[in-house]
Chain A
């Protein structure tokens, strides 16, 4: 199985500041035939199910604020929140969907307000 490793495990950022979460896969999730990275990001607030934020590593899901952006390729990916808002406090997960059916998630990164 592809192992997804996120860093850091937790992060505290001041309101209005940038938050950056990293995700590394144990093998490439870039599919050469279509040049797409099979990498998604989810946000999970306390007591709620996960919410899809970004797929294909950098495409925002409909309705997701543009302060959320994804980048990276191959094995190294980043989720960036450009200006942290109070409602962004959550745990964030990356997921690879390259190796199906054995899709796997990162361990999660807890984002808090400093």
Chain B
């Protein structure tokens, strides 16, 4: 059974940093592209970042470019999101999501999400 379990969320002050983790199991993690998608409270879905299966190709939404860094450790079956210079508008549930297939940018498995709250 495919499982994605996020951790690392919490309350952080504006300008602060947080590192999210996503532990994957039940599939060959190193063969799949991975993403972070966020959802502000009561709002819709926003794609945040993508990383290829090897980690060699990375993309970011304009809203987080230069502040967030995605990475992965295929030996540990883990995906990460380093978030710096956090703003109030980054407050959201952050989901890690698996790309369904190579270069198919739709998401067939999602974690339960971890809540990031940016507030003073």
Contact = CB atoms under 8 A, between A and B. Distances in A.
Chain A, interface residues (CB within 8 Å), range? 20 to 34
Interface residues of B, number: 20
Contacts of A52: 100, 106-108
Given A49-B110, A49-B113, A50-B110, A105 B45 contact: yes
A50 B113 CA distance: 10
From B61, B106, B113, residue with most partner A Cβ within 10 Å: B106
B27 interface: no
A77 interface: no
* Most central of A40, A49, A106, A108 by chain B CB within 10 Å: A49
Interface string A70-114: 000000000000000000000001010100111111111000000
Given A50-B107, A61-B108, A101 B45 contact: no
Nearest to B59: A101
B68 to A, nearest CB: 14
Interface of B: 44-47, 50, 59, 61, 95, 97, 100, 103-108, 110-113
The 8 nearest A-B residue pairs measured at CB: A49-B110, A101-B59, A97-B105, A105-B45, A40-B106, A100-B105, A103-B105, A97-B106
